[in-house]
């Protein structure tokens, strides 16, 4: 049975938590929006190695368009994840520890994006050898490492490292990664200028 108290002195008021007391990197972590990049990267990784050597036929434009749309969804999800982590930091005092925690919190989605795009590039090339031109490895692992280097190079310095897309669909795929790169770079600049 519930007892009702009429004495107002026994009720406690809870203090309201202020924004400056929240430690860095504790924004809402909604991992669900990272799922397209995580599962898409794993699926592309596995199927890219499974279809190695089957790249004699040409992928249709519709297939590449679907890959481009999925890559855009994965990049947007990763971007929104990073934005949610860093979005509520306007009133915080910036110090080195805070900056270090924020950089560590956004490193996971950036590594996921590098893995995703490297795996997708490898999958597309495994299915269609005419989709990329340049210096690409001849074995399974060296081919994957070439596209992982392309993904790292595009995200870090904007360089294709001797590999260039030969078809419109793969050019769009590289452009989606470049847009994500600009977004991540602008967020990193905003971390240092707040």
pLDDT tens, residue by residue, 46-59: 988 887 776 667 77
Quickly tell me which residue has 């860093």 as its tokens. Answer: 86
Q: Higher model confidence: residue 68 or residue 154?
A: 68
pLDDT of residue 50: 81
* pLDDT surpassing 80 at residue 87: no
Q: Say if residue 138's pLDDT is above 90.
A: no
pLDDT computed for residue 48 by the predictor: 84
Q: Which two tokens stand for residue 170?
A: 């793969």
Select from 189, 176, 50 the least CA-distant residue to 113: 176
Higher pLDDT, 99 or 129: 129
Q: What is the pLDDT of residues 90-107, one digit of tens each?
A: 545 566 777 777 788 888
Confidence of residue 20 (pLDDT cuts 50, 70, 90): very low
Give the CA-trace dihedral at 163, 167, 171, 173, to 10 degrees: -100
Instruction: Delimit the domains of the chain by residue range.
Output: 26-193
Chain mean position to CA 102: 16
Predicted confidence band of residue 2 (pLDDT cuts 50, 70, 90): very low
Nearest 5°: the CA angle 39, 40, 42 is 65
Residue 18: in which H helix or E strand, if any? none
pTM recorded for the entire structure: 0.76
Phi, psi angles (nearest 5°) of residue 132: -130, 150
* DSSP codes, 62-80: HHHHHHHHHHHHHHHHHHH
Average pLDDT, the chain: 77
pLDDT score at 72? 93
28 or 51: which leads in pLDDT: 51
Query: How many percent of the chain have pLDDT more than 70?
Result: 74
pLDDT band at 155 (very low <50, low <70, confident <90, very high): low
Structure tokens of 76?
Answer: 């947007």
Q: Give the whole-angstrom CA distance, residue 45 versus residue 113.
A: 13
């Amino acid at each position: 049975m519930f007892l009702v108290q009429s004495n107002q002195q026994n009720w406690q008021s809870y203090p309201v938590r202020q924004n400056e007391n929240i430690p860095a990197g504790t924004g809402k972590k909604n991992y669900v929006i990272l799922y397209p990049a995580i599962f898409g990267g794993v699926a592309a990784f596995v199927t890219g190695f499974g279809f190695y050597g089957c790249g004699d036929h040409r992928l249709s434009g519709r297939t590449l368009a679907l890959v481009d749309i999925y890559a855009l969804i994965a990049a947007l999800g990763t971007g929104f994840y990073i934005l949610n982590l860093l979005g509520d930091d306007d009133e915080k005092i910036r110090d080195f520890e805070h900056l270090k925690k924020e950089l560590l919190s956004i490193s996971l989605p950036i590594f996921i994006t590098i893995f995703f795009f490297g795996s997708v590039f490898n999958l597309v090339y495994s299915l269609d050898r005419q989709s990329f031109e340049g210096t690409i490895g001849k074995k399974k692992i060296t081919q994957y490492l070439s596209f992982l280097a392309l993904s790292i190079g595009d995200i870090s310095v904007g360089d294709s490292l001797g590999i260039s897309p030969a078809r419109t669909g793969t050019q769009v795929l590289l452009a989606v990664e470049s847009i994500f790169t600009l977004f991540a770079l602008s967020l990193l600049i905003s971390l240092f200028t707040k």
